[in-house]
With several copies, the nearest count.
Chain A
């Protein structure tokens, strides 16, 4: 199966990536994509949160690429997917920029959806990236969320 993994400092446009991904999978009936965008607040909703002005994404070069490739291989074992694209930023980000993009191509929409969500859930708990947010009260490392662990674990029994 084809796949493309890019860990990059440069900003990207998720729409351009979707256009390219769809074009190179023109025979796949189903294309699913997910984009994680940087929010400009740090809590559950904007009203009860602090404003976030910048984010720094640190990562583990080598292991990040390796771990993402491993997740793609696992997705390929579980579902009939034709292609996967994963793009993940590192370095400095500003609000509304895309942080991560995952796209899957399959003959069937159920498999495209499942593989895309699986990749996002596992990426969140396995890929070595760390977010550091800067707002009015200073700079803090973002804490991991137990809900992300729970969502990843769902796939163990599926």
Chain B
């Protein structure tokens, strides 16, 4: 599973992408964020305030309750500021 980070999440975590295999018990985005938070102090800092985080599962806007079984690419980023 590819995990992508953008903007200040990428900066806090230190990398833009990781290829990881979460345990089978990680079934939702929320559970994935809990699991990722334990990887490093940077991950913990990035996921500390979840109100600031937006999620895409396989490039589609999603939410913390979205199930991730079978997903190939999960991205975390702040609210978008393009245009």
User: In the complex, which residues of chain B have a beta carbon less than 8 angstroms from the beta carbon of A132?
Assistant: 7
CA distance A99 to B7 in the complex (A): 18
A86 CB to nearest chain B CB (Å): 10
Q: Is the interface of A mostly helix, strand, loop or mixed?
A: mixed
> Is residue B39 contacting chain A, with contact meaning CB distance below 8 A?
no
CA distance A59 to B77 in the complex (A): 10
CA distance A63 to B59 in the complex (A): 5
> Is residue A100 contacting chain B, with contact meaning CB distance below 8 A?
yes
Partner of A100 from the list B59, B77, B82 (CB cut-off 8 Å) is B82
User: In the complex, which residues of chain B have a beta carbon less than 8 angstroms from the beta carbon of A100?
Assistant: 82-83
CA distance A142 to B8 in the complex (A): 10
B63 CB to nearest chain A CB (Å): 14
B83 and A128 contact, CB distance less than 8 A = no
Report the nearest B residue to A64, measured CB to CB. B82
Interface residues contributed by chain B, number (CB under 8 Å)? 16
> Is residue A129 contacting chain B, with contact meaning CB distance below 8 A?
yes
B79 CB to nearest chain A CB (Å): 3
CA distance A88 to B82 in the complex (A): 8
Partner of A58 from the list B7, B59, B75, B83 (CB cut-off 8 Å) is B7
> Is residue B4 contacting chain A, with contact meaning CB distance below 8 A?
yes
CA distance A36 to B78 in the complex (A): 21
- Contact (A141, B80) CB under 8 Å given A60-B56, A62-B59, A63-B75: no
Chain B residues at the A interface, C-beta cutoff of 8 Å = 4, 6-8, 10, 56, 59, 61, 75, 77-83
Add 10 more A-B contacts to A63-B59, A67-B59, A130-B7 (CB < 8 A). Answer: A62-B59, A100-B82, A100-B83, A125-B80, A128-B82, A129-B83, A130-B77, A132-B7, A141-B8, A143-B81
Chain A residues at the B interface, C-beta cutoff of 8 Å = 36, 57-60, 62-63, 66-67, 88, 99-100, 120, 123-132, 141-144
Residue pairs across A and B with Cβ atoms less than 8 A apart, 28 shown, are A36-B83, A57-B82, A58-B7, A60-B6, A60-B56, A62-B59, A63-B56, A66-B59, A67-B59, A67-B61, A88-B83, A99-B83, A124-B82, A125-B80, A126-B61, A127-B82, A128-B6, A128-B75, A128-B77, A128-B82, A129-B80, A131-B81, A141-B7, A141-B8, A141-B78, A141-B81, A143-B79, A144-B79
